[in-house]
């Protein structure tokens, strides 16, 4: 008989790496499971989500305001989704001087 003990092939990962792996796996499952269920349901029922992605970019200023860049620029991105309460807009905006805001709108504009 062979008297050499079998080698333990398990590799012990650091705690931070195990937590990162578990978090990534959980997030992945939280995204994949609903998408899979939605895809399977779409095979039997006509499921459509009315959504529209919006991007805006603006350049310029009205007056010679102190403390702003010479030609301020802003970028905005958002998503408009049709819901039972009416259209919902959720978006955010970032400026060239580091300012950032998020905003939402519920209902029709006009």
Does residue 93 carry a pLDDT above 70?
yes
Q: What is the DSSP letter of 38?
A: H
Q: What is the pLDDT of residues 24-54, one digit of tens each?
A: 778 777 877 887 887 777 777 766 777 888 8
Kindly report, residue by residue over 6-30, the tens digit of the pLDDT: 555 666 778 887 788 788 778 777 8
pTM to 2 decimals? 0.47
Domain range 49-110, its CATH number among 1.20.1300, 2.60.220, 3.40.50, 3.30.1300: 3.30.1300
Q: Is residue 57 a contact partner of residue 72, using CB atoms and an 8 Å limit? A: no
Domain limits, the chain: 9-47, 49-110
Rounded percentage of the chain residues whose pLDDT exceeds 90: 0
User: In this structure, are residues 52 and 80 in contact, taking their beta carbons and an 8 Å threshold?
Assistant: yes
Q: What was the pLDDT predicted at 57?
A: 86
């Amino acid at each position: 008989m062979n008297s050499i003990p079998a080698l333990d092939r398990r590799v012990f990962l650091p705690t931070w790496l195990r937590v990162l792996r578990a978090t990534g796996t959980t997030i992945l499952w939280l995204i994949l499971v609903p998408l899979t269920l939605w895809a399977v349901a779409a095979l039997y029922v006509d499921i459509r989500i009315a959504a529209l992605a919006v991007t805006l970019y603006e350049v310029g200023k009205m007056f010679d305001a102190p403390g702003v860049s010479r030609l301020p620029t802003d970028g905005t991105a958002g998503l408009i989704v049709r819901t039972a309460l009416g259209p919902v807009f959720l978006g955010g905006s970032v400026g060239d001087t580091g300012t950032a805001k998020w905003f939402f709108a519920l209902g029709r504009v006009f």
